Amino acid sequence: MNDIKRCEWTGNDEKMIQYHDAEWGVPVKDDQKLFEYFVLDAFQAGLSWKTILHKRENFRKAFDNFDPEKIALYNSNKVNTLLQDSGIIRNRLKIQATIHNARQYKEIQAKYESFSTYIWSFVQGEPIINKWHSLQEVPATSSISDKMSKDLKQKGFKFVGSTICYAFMQAAGLVNDHTTGCFRYKQG
């Protein structure tokens, strides 16, 4: 496994390697999976992906398997419970934003038939294939993540800056940012 060429950001961390090899950059059309990435990328703001990935299962338990229907119904008691959960990132603003975004997500689903239809419209339904040779070339934002961020903010979403949107695009496969030497690059 160690002799396979991967994107540099995985390092030697087993969870990061598994995530890179099986999930990162794979096009996701499932609404609930997209919402999961959306939540996790918002919690990542100001933190490393490694931190979030190592807490992912705790997030799943704490946030009802990322079910937006359930999360949209969370109240102040649930927020307080989440703030006591040492298995997740205990940031009140991010927790409240997750609840708020679940409600906005439901509105998007109602208007566009699915969250996937809406989110993939930013790339005309097809992943953007970049040709980065090194990690240093990979941008933190793009004109599309800028547009996505602006539109999501107009629709009332929180913690949706362009950097978060770009990380989401990478995770959900809207953009293929595997470096060209990575074994996953041609797999999409």
Residue 187 binned pLDDT confidence (cut-offs 50, 70, 90): confident
Mean pLDDT to the nearest integer, 127-153: 97
* Angstrom distance (rounded) from CA 13 to CA 82: 27
Specify if 110 maps to a domain.
Answer: yes
pLDDT of 188 > 70? The answer is no
Specify if 149 maps to a domain.
Answer: yes
Give the count of beta carbons closer than 10 Å to the beta carbon of residue 124. Answer: 7
Contact 168, 41 (CB under 8 A): yes
Helix axes 162-171, 143-154, angle to 10 degrees: 110
* Exposure on the CB side of residue 147, measured as CA atoms within 13 A: 10
Domain count, the chain: 1
pLDDT of residue 2: 56
Q: pLDDT tens digits, residue range 51-100? A: 999 999 999 999 999 999 999 999 999 999 999 999 999 999 999 999 99
Do the strands 175-176 and 128-129 form a parallel or antiparallel pair, or are they unpaired? Answer: parallel
Check which CATH number belongs to the domain holding 88 and give it: 1.10.340.30
Specify if 96 maps to a domain.
Answer: yes
Specify if 10 maps to a domain.
Answer: no
pLDDT of residue 161: 97
Across the chain, mean pLDDT equals 96
pTM of the entire predicted model: 0.94
Mean pLDDT to the nearest integer, 103-131: 97
Specify if 1 maps to a domain.
Answer: no
Nearest to 168 by CA among 17, 24, 46: 24
Residue 1 binned pLDDT confidence (cut-offs 50, 70, 90): very low
- The b-or-e profile of 37-53 (16+ CB within 10 A means b, else e) is bbbbbbbbbeeebbebb
pLDDT of residue 186: 85
Q: pLDDT tens digits, residue range 25-56? A: 999 999 999 999 999 999 999 999 999 999 99
Specify if 182 maps to a domain.
Answer: yes
Mean pLDDT to the nearest integer, 101-106: 97
Specify if 6 maps to a domain.
Answer: no
Domain range spanning residue 40?
20-187
* Angstrom distance (rounded) from CA 59 to CA 130: 31
Specify if 2 maps to a domain.
Answer: no
